Amino acid sequence: MATFESKNLTVTHNGTLPRVPFLDIKEKVLGKSYELSISFVNPTEAKSLNKKYRNKTYIPNTLSFSLTKSSGEIVLCLPAIKKEYKSFDMTYKKYLIFLMIHSMLHLKGFVHGSTMEDKEQHYLAFFS
């Protein structure tokens, strides 16, 4: 299992971790003191979590779980992300970064809409 850990960030994956600036993204979007866990899961696990917590039956690309005002968890499903990225006219890496930003904004309380989209583009500009 691959694991990246810093003071307020833990990233885990059964395979090799993607090469993205996890800590830089987390600190830019959520701040240095926010405690975040990012887990990469397989499609079966992602679908099970989606059913359990959202009563949805599809395989999600990402799920966000706010634990407290200053901590949360993000679950990412790389097979789902790899299937989708081309339809968003992004590279795989850019789409993965976009979804991380998207998930982090949900942890900050943003909901889908133009304000969230503006924030996504603002942060994405730093990492593309």
C-beta of residue 124 within 8 angstroms of C-beta of residue 97: yes
Note down the domain range covering 11: 2-127
What pLDDT band is residue 101 in, cutting at 50, 70 and 90?
very high
* Reduced 3-state DSSP string for 58-77: CCCCEEEEEEECCEEEEEEC
Q: What type of residue is 40?
A: F
Number of domains the chain contains: 1
Residue 47 pLDDT more than 80?
A: yes
What is the average pLDDT value for the chain, to the nearest integer? Answer: 95
Domain CATH for 42: 3.40.390.30
Residues 36 and 49: beta-carbon distance below 8 Å: no
Neighbours of 39 (CB within 10 A): 18
